[in-house]
Every structure is written in C-alpha cells, then in structure tokens.
Structure 1
C-alpha cells in the first residue's frame, strides 16, 4: 500500500511540474493562445463520452491511443479496432474516428488513430449576383471545412508491476475549402498504473506545444466580390494541458460491479470558464460512472464541462454542467456503445448521439 501511495504522489508531482512549467511559459507570452486545435479535445468513443470523458486512467483498447497511449498494453485481445460516428448541433457537424492497436511483444504495443471533425456542403454564394445585378443560382459552389488528426502511438511496460508509459506523435491538417489549409505537428505523453481495483493515469497533451501553420490562398479571396480584408498566413500555438485521472472498481451483489472515475483537466492557455480558474491555470473536473452486469451489459453516466452562467436582471448567477448517459454491450469480441450527451449552446441545449463499434480479435 505504501508503494501505491508513493506512486500516486509521484504521479501528482510530475503532473503538477509539467503544468506549472508550461503555465509559466504561457505567462511570459504577451498574447496567450486559447482554444487552438480544440477539436482534439471533444473526445472519442461512446463509452468515454457516456462517462463524461473520464478515460485517462481507464482506456485499455484502441481508443487509448487518443485518451492515454499507456493504456494500449491493457487490451484483452491481440488486435483491437474501433469506429465512431457522431453528429453535433442537430447534425450540422460530423465527428468521425477510427483506431487500431496491436502488441509488438509482451512489453510494448503500437496504435494508430484518425479523427475528422467537419461541416460539409457549405454554400459559397459570393458570386450569386453577377456583374449585371442578376441572380444566377448556377454560380453557387459548395465547400467543406474540416479538421483532421492522425495519432501514432507507442506504449511500453516499465519498472514496477502495473506501470505502463506511452507517447503519441500527431499530425494535424485543417482545411477551409480552397481558401486556407494548415499543418501542425505535436507530441503527447502518458502513464497508467493499476493496483488491484484502483487505477491511476496521467496524460500530458501537446507536451512540447503544437504549432499549426496556416497557409492562405489570397487569390481565392481576391476573386470574390466582397470587400473583406484578405487574411494573412499565420501560426497557432497549442499549449500543453495535463489530465490526472483515477478510477476504482467496486464489486456489487450478484453479477454486478460499478466503476467510479474522475479526471482533473488542467489547461495552461489562460483563464477559462471552469470551477478553478486563474490567469495561471484553469482546472475542469469530470466525473463518470459505469455499472456492469456480468461484464456483458453496461449502463453509464457522466458529468463534465462545468461553466458559470452570468445572471441577468431576472436571474441569478448559476453553474451549468454537461450531463451524459450511455449503454454498452459486448459479445465474442464485438463491442457496441451508444452515448447521449447534452451540449449547451448559450441558452439553448442540443442532444448529441454518439455510436461506436469496437472489435477485438486474435
């Protein structure tokens, strides 16, 4: 038990050190970037999204390449593959994900993940009215705005029993039709530790910062009929974020069990609307629960994205959170997970349905 507490303390110290170091770097910059490459923080997998995105200490299948590459060594089959599709904001935004993982030997494993978040079939009506003032619908063209990421993951067992570490190398590609494109490169690092029913996790995203360079097609803008200023090519910097996670499995009567999990996500890109928010760091807590029957059927719930809502003349200041629910079934290596997440958009709310399919085989 002392060994467990010592490791938990080391994990916390490492996470705090990374957070403070990167936050200090952000403080030394006059214009601290915020929400760069934010599409990479939405989450993947219906199991995770149904549990409030609390997966840093739990992920042990192909989705670990995204949540914490150290978990790739925990998968129960030799090969594992996951597909996910979800639609956000009444189907306007499509979020797709695919991943595959496999061991190299008894002490190491690799994985690959692809993420796409996009809005398709956007109408370009700039040339709807021709030079004679006439409307010509044939002049309408369509384009897509999409963000892509590829993650290549590696995990390895180290030192004490139950300890694994991992890292991601990631390539980011962002596209705004033929108007602009961007490329970015970055690295993540993570660790997981399991002792009995307790799991601990640490994930440092964009640990070296991720620089995304935009290239603007100026000629495309000059061909338009509007008078908007032409944007210039520039770069975005994604500062590190550190997530500490913990989970505990409880045996219930009969064939039931319960898994309780929590993640503390710490960002270093300035003040955010989170329960703990300073000009130095911001911390967003997440909570998740999974009740399993015979390790075949699962019922899940979670809460995340705590935000303070300013009051008006007739209402008081209040806190709002994003709840989520999910169910899952598994048989003969096949896993089907469905999650329902309620997103808040200003004063409106919209439900998002996430479906993912996983398959593990030898």
Structure 2
C-alpha cells in the first residue's frame, strides 16, 4: 500500500509537469465518469434513458423532471484499491410547484489521502535517507452539479423532457497545485409506456480547468535537480462527450417487468481501447437489465468496459481477445426508502478489483397539517 501511494506521488508530479505543455487531454476529469448510485453501476452504467430519481442529475438531467411529488436524496460511498481511494456521491432533487420542473444538486469527491511526500527523503547534505522528512498530503477531485429538468410534453402516450447542468470542478494535489473548472451538460429524454430514449452531451462547450501551482523554494530546488519542469500556470480542456441511450420495458404482468437498456458512450479525444476505436472518435457500449418485482424488489445485471486485452493462456503476450466488465446488483424498496447494491469492478480489466457498493435513496414525505 505504501509503495502504491509513492507511485501516486510520482504520477501526480508527472501529471503536473505535463499540464504545463498540454491543453486538450484524453481522460481529462475522468473522475466525473465513474458513475452514481448502485442501481446504475449494477446495470453497467446504462442509465441515460431510465434514471428518473436524484441520480438523474448525474446521468441525464432531463430525468429530474420525473421527480414531481416530494424531494428525494441519494447517497453512495465506494472504495478503490482496498480503501486507498475513496469515492463519495450525494445528490438531491427538489420538484417545483408547477409539477413540470425540478432542480437538482450533486456533490462528488474522489480522493486519495495520506500520500507520502518523499521529496525530502534524501538529505541534501549527507546523501542519507531521513525518514523523518516524509510528510503526507491528499490529492482530491471535487465536482458540483447544479441541475435543472423540465417536462415539455406529458401525455399518456409520450413524455418529453429537457435538462441541463452547470458543472463546477475543484481539484487539488496537496499544497502543490489546484484547479478550478467550469462546464455545461445538456440532456434529452423521451419516454413512452414501453420505450425509453435518452441523449446527453457532457462538457458541451468543453470543460475548462485553470491550474495554478505553489512550490516552495526548497521544493523547486528538488524538482530542478531531478529534471522535473516547474510550471506556474496551465489550462486543461475536456473534450465533449456524447452518450446515446435506448431502452425497452417488457411488461409481463402487473407483478413483473424487465427493463433492458443500451448506452453508447461516444468520445472525441482520440483513439481509446474500446469496442469501436478510431481517431478521433471512439465508442464504448454499456448494456444493462433490471427485473422489477411488484416495484419492491429489483434484480440487475450489466456489461461494460469492452477492451482488447491479452488472453490469460497466452505466454507470448501476442494473442489478443475481447474482454468486458460484468456487474450484478439488487435493490429493495421499503416505504419511502430504497437500498441498492452492486457488485462491480472499479479498477480495470488487467487488474480486476471487484467490490461491494451500497447506495441509499430517501423520498422525503410532505408534512401533513
């Protein structure tokens, strides 16, 4: 674990140096693409056409318009790498009085705490290792979404809604660097009794991050002696991302239905290791299903993160096969409380790290006078 955190320190300084010479970056602000809620993670991230609770502020702000009667709150906590990285999510959706508009607030944090700062591990005078010079710092990314969803058409045969986010980002690497970012998302959702369609444009106008750096004279000296660039200011731009979603709700009887959804995550920041990979457009599919039993019990499964990887049986490291990330989940509704569970991989295909994730949703009841 200590070695992993030291690697994170070195990676952080490499990223800081690279920021000084680049603007558009692949995988920029990637912490905003992890997901929200165990329901969505259990369905492989296929949520753009079906999220209609407080998590819609994250998945598709147009879905907030279906929160019409009472405010609702959602929360989730997940851990990466045996608890080294922590991901926290909290959101609220508040319907307005006209029964057509809803506002939402979302807060996201992804951070690694207690990273060893080994810049001064070696004593410059004696050349000896001095472990008393090791301190600790945190590296964390914060995202805040101010969301709005409005129902445009509401008939028994079809419902159409629009939504948008104002995205505020704050990122910091100890006392060495911090950034402020601003972006905009937009979403559309169309629902019939059986069909679901959703479209989301994330970072619609590109998300802009302005980095500033603050190194002491001693830190600058160490960075200089180790051949690291010492930046002063930098900008980082996140390319737009388009997510297309479609689903169908198979209603078998009054007690059981099955929702199947497919999302296509389209990126424009260069060739990625995805199912459809080209330069500059890559497409990453997400597939998810949810069985609904009497609107009380939910069973979920999903597939996502298709990648080209090496076969386990290949000792020459030349045979490549398609691999994917499966996920499972379940949910239980008890009155105005929904508890969701997901079992999914939060790392990558080459180093799978499956974990248990729980999330909570509470519908706030109106007071009766």
- TM-score bracket relative to the smaller structure: 0.7 to 0.9
Counterparts of 1:343 and 1:322, CA distance in 2: 10
Map of 2:9 onto structure 1: none
Map of 1:149 onto structure 2: 143
Deviation at 1:290, TM superposition (A): 0.8
When structure 1 is superposed on structure 2, of 41-50 and 271-280 the one drifting more is: 271-280
Runs of 4+ in 1 over 6 A off after TM superposition: none
1:100 matches 2:92 = yes
Deviation at 1:194, TM superposition (A): 0.7
Deviation at 1:212, TM superposition (A): 0.7
Q: Would the alpha carbon gap of residues 332 and 77 (structure 1) be closer, same or farther in structure 2, given more than 3 Å must change?
A: farther
TM-score by length of 1: 0.86
- RMSD, aligned α-carbons: 2.1
The answer (yes or no) to whether the contact 1:300–1:327 under 8 Å persists in 2 is yes
TM-score by length of 2: 0.85
Deviation at 1:254, TM superposition (A): 7.0
| Match among 196, 213, 216 for residue 216 of structure 1 | 213
Task: Please give the secondary structure, in 2, of the residue aligned with 1:181.
Answer: strand
1:271 matches 2:271 = yes
The answer (yes or no) to whether the contact 1:51–1:288 under 8 Å persists in 2 is yes
Map of 1:111 onto structure 2: 104
**Structure 2 unmatched runs, 5+:** 1-21
Deviation at 1:180, TM superposition (A): 0.3
Counterparts of 2:105 and 2:324, CA distance in 1: 32
Cα deviation, 1:236-257, whole Å, max 9, x if unaligned, reads: 1111111111111112357222
Task: Please give the secondary structure, in 2, of the residue aligned with 1:158.
Answer: strand
Cα deviation, 1:145-169, whole Å, max 9, x if unaligned, reads: 1110000001112146400100000
Deviation at 1:202, TM superposition (A): 0.6
Map of 1:167 onto structure 2: 164
Counterparts of 2:86 and 2:317, CA distance in 1: 37
Deviation at 1:223, TM superposition (A): 5.6
Number of residues of Structure 1 aligned to a counterpart in Structure 2? 333
Cα deviation, 1:115-157, whole Å, max 9, x if unaligned, reads: 0011111111222343344554432211011110000001112
The answer (yes or no) to whether the contact 2:57–2:106 under 8 Å persists in 1 is yes
1:31-180 aligned within 5 A = 33-75=25-67, 77-104=69-96, 105-130=98-123, 131-133=125-127, 135-159=129-153, 161=155, 162-180=159-177
1:341 matches 2:331 = no
Counterparts of 1:179 and 1:156, CA distance in 2: 42
Q: Would the alpha carbon gap of residues 262 and 361 (structure 1) be closer, same or farther in structure 2, given more than 3 Å must change?
A: same
Q: Would the alpha carbon gap of residues 240 and 127 (structure 1) be closer, same or farther in structure 2, given more than 3 Å must change?
A: same
Q: Would the alpha carbon gap of residues 67 and 258 (structure 1) be closer, same or farther in structure 2, given more than 3 Å must change?
A: same
Counterparts of 1:128 and 1:48, CA distance in 2: 44
Map of 1:351 onto structure 2: 354
Q: Would the alpha carbon gap of residues 155 and 314 (structure 1) be closer, same or farther in structure 2, given more than 3 Å must change?
A: closer
Deviation at 1:112, TM superposition (A): 0.3
